[in-house]
Structure 1
Amino acid sequence: MNKALYAIITLPLLFLFALPVASQEKAERNWQDETIYSIMIDRFNNGDNSNDFEVDTRNPLAYHGGDFEGVIMQLDYIKDMGFTTILLSPIFDNNESGYHGYAVNDFYMPDEHFGSMESFKTLVNEAHERDMKVVIDFVVNYVGSDHVWTKDPGKKDWFLQTEEMTHQNQLAFPWLEGLHELNLANPEVQEYLVDAATWWVKETGIDGYRLESVNQVPGDFWSDFSRAVKEVNSDIYLLGEVAPEDSSSIMDHEKSGINGFSDYTFNQPLRAAFAQPDQPMTELISAITEKEQLYKDPSLVVKFLDNHHTSRFTTDAANLNEHPGARWKMALTYLYTTPGIPMVFYGSEIALSGGEAPDNFQQMNFMTDKELVDYITQLGEIRGELPSLSRGSFELLHEKDGLAVYKREYEGEISVIAINNTSGTQSVDISAQNLKEDMELRGMLNGDLVRSNEGNYKIVLDREEAEVYVLSERTGINVAYLIAMVVVVLLFIVFITLLKRRARNGSN
């Protein structure tokens, strides 16, 4: 009797859960699908007090105690926000005040303030166990004033003369003062750096390098560099940094094997469009088309609002008396849903502020409001679920005074992104000819639902609100589901009736 009743209840439930559900098989994750979290190691998290040498958190030019162990402790925090790659500031042994990593003393040793080689390997392994990649900043341009090469008369031709330090004069970053710029036209220098780069890939299993000021380095060096590291790992990602005024050289560097570039050219238009409401996005949108001429593969370009070379985007908004939270939400939505790889600098998720370096390297705080963290998490989940956002084509559907609607499409999947970066509620009609008739747009950020009506999709957004829609079949009554539920209810009634009858017979 018990077995029979169990079967009566179980069979309809199995039928119910066996009903077909909409699902899409995920493609293998490639570099254009990554989402990068960039970390200034020294300012991120102190996980090991035993390596706190000469730490002074009150001095913006001194070490603050961040280390490899601190990053390891926060890997789950980073992964939970949807980031798939971490980008670390330079890790090599540095001068006493080289918290930034640019004053290299030894290309084969990690800085003692950050931890041992074993702790760095643990960091890489822990990231890989979480299906996250690790990219490190490889500074080939400079060494610190204490490097043994600077004391060796036989290596005088390994350095440029002071007047040749064009990069320092051009950018004038504080951490470049007192550094010695390497002569990368020297074959011995080239060979040494290429050997060091391949050694780190073999020894630690890192997944990529960010390469500083590639336009200041001979192209044949990058060809040798790229070829050597990709012989060790063919999937390694090389991210080049090129100043906006030298963007015309990007195509030449792409031929040398560099995969992608930090999008400095369009960083300022991006910041200007979202630092305050009611700003036109014309220049920003047109930049997407321009990228197709500038880059071999625009999907591998890294987009960002701020990084180690810029002031904080939060400060831009604050200087305009704007609330940073709303500004970040609008800008991040654009960053995550347009072609290219989004990169977020540590602390952006808590709207960290700061001006020029070192003010932009404020200490990370994990005990602040989580509103932006939750929003970034949502965006990360959506980007991970929709290949159209990382691989799809781009088509502008509407743009006017801060309201933009655009479409991404990939292998039949269509997503529509609407951003209302204005100070009032906005509505716009999108013709079904640009999408499909008799369908619906399902919002993934706020749950909005827009059905086609007389050949149009009417999108309505409150001020400073955005939505990411997926074009889907119209939802209706699920007949199979209702039948299954009715069967379950009826059988449950039969089950209760049988139980009562059995209990009555037992008492008799």
Structure 2
Amino acid sequence: MVDVVANHMGYTGGCCWNVDCDKQQLVNFTGFNPFNKSEDYHSLCEIMNWKNQTEVELCRLAKLPDLNQSDQYVRSTLLNWISELTKKYGIDGYRIDTVTEVAKDFWSEFQVAADAFCLGEASSDNITYTAEYQGPLNAVLNFPLYYTMKRVFTENQSMKTLQTTLDQEKMKFEDITVLGNFLDNHDFQRFLSISPNITLLMNNLAYVLLSQGIPIIYYGTEQVFNGGNDPENREALWPHYNQKSRLYKFISQLSLLRRRSDLDFSSDQQTEVYAADDYFVFSRGDKHQILIFISNKISDGNLTKKFPVNVYKDGTVLVNIENDNDSVEVTHSMIEIELYKNMPKVYRLQTDTNSSDPVRISIIMTMLSSLVTIGIYWVAS
């Protein structure tokens, strides 16, 4: 998967983008020169303070030279470029920067020309607005869920809003199973910079990795990085890389669970089993093969809690994916589990086989190691 930008360009040494631009022409949106960086141009729309969608598409991002996709030469050049990129290198997918800053009709043509999976960055928490870019493109990053999770896990908002967001997204998006779910990225301060609590982070990670959608882990999260706003959130990976870190192992384990041959986590059913302000329980699969417990409540030591689980018949036995000796039985549509510091906990049906083939584990660990080694740095603005 390759990160690409079609909205703007960067400044290079020795280049001068100072082209005169008539103020009235820009107001009328005719004769627009995409490379102008005069004061007149910037006085019309303050950087990153756009008032409407027209300004979002025509104004500049952080003073970067903006491309005019309505110009046929610019448009055809970009479409030919992405088509040749796929053909030459056999690329499987693209992460596309700043898609809301370009008209949707261009992205429809871009998707066809790319001939590969396209995941767009539509960085808004408005579900209706964001969903409009799935269709022109295969999918978008799930920013509405990102903002919901931020409020739930770092601001102690009710965990019930996780299901509320999911229900609203099902009504607006064409396919929620291909949305990109994430909790850290290159543009925002890291989770641990906002809330320096590993347990809360692990609960949030459990939801990202096991809920519907494509899980995306930003490099350094597994290394307990806690950088603030850009560029502090782009810490050097070396010499801090450690495969033995607690978070690395946790992410690897849940990644392995997603690769179970008998359960398609990308599309199989997700069901809310129980929701409260501080606990959320959901299952995956048509037979609820996997049951996940997460919390946004900080706790010390062990505690035992009962949860209603009416998706199972009495007598159903579930087993902790980490410890086969930790099994629980459904009684009177209730389940009693022991939680350690409210860490996330995942169970599987006892009749469900959960292969722990060391070869498969090795493959997963190697793949994750390789991804981190090459560095998942987003270099686009």
TM-score bucket (shorter structure): 0.7 to 0.9
Alignment of 1:99-498 (within 5 A): 135-146=1-12, 150=17, 157-159=33-35, 162-163=41-42, 168-170=47-49, 177-230=62-115, 236-244=116-124, 247-256=127-136, 258-275=137-154, 280-318=158-196, 323=197, 325-365=198-238, 366-368=240-242, 370-385=245-260, 387-410=263-286, 412=287, 414-422=289-297, 423=299, 425-431=303-309, 433-447=310-324, 448-473=326-351
**185-194 vs 244-253, which moves further:** 244-253
TM-score by length of 2: 0.76
Contact map agreement 1:430 1:459 (CA 8 A) in 2: no
Select the structure that is richer in helix.
1
Which blocks of at least 5 consecutive residues in structure 1 are unaligned? 1-134, 231-235, 476-508
Contact map agreement 1:341 1:390 (CA 8 A) in 2: yes
SS at structure 2 position matched to 1:470: strand
2:371 alignment counterpart: none
Provide closer, same or farther for how the CA distance between residues 167 and 203 of structure 1 changes in structure 2, counting only shifts above 3 A: farther
Provide closer, same or farther for how the CA distance between residues 150 and 449 of structure 1 changes in structure 2, counting only shifts above 3 A: same
d(CA) in 1 for partners of 2:352, 2:250: 27
TM-score by length of 1: 0.58
Output one character per residue of 1:348-367: Cα deviation in whole Å (capped at 9) or x when no partner: 00111111111111111344
Shift of 1:220: 1.7
Provide closer, same or farther for how the CA distance between residues 268 and 250 of structure 1 changes in structure 2, counting only shifts above 3 A: closer
Output one character per residue of 1:447-489: Cα deviation in whole Å (capped at 9) or x when no partner: 43112334533233232222211123499xxxxxxxxxxxxxx
Structure number with greater Rg is: 1
SS at structure 2 position matched to 1:329: helix
Contact map agreement 1:426 1:461 (CA 8 A) in 2: yes
Shift of 1:180: 0.8
Shift of 1:165: 8.6
Q: Which amino acid aligns with 2:82?
A: A
Which blocks of at least 5 consecutive residues in structure 2 are unaligned? 21-30, 51-59, 354-381
Q: Which amino acid aligns with 2:79?
A: V
d(CA) in 2 for partners of 1:306, 1:474: 33
Provide closer, same or farther for how the CA distance between residues 413 and 406 of structure 1 changes in structure 2, counting only shifts above 3 A: closer
Shift of 1:305: 0.7
d(CA) in 2 for partners of 1:247, 1:421: 23
d(CA) in 2 for partners of 1:470, 1:207: 32
Provide closer, same or farther for how the CA distance between residues 248 and 419 of structure 1 changes in structure 2, counting only shifts above 3 A: closer
d(CA) in 2 for partners of 1:187, 1:165: 25
d(CA) in 1 for partners of 2:222, 2:45: 35
Report the count of equivalent residues.
Answer: 324
Shift of 1:245: 5.6
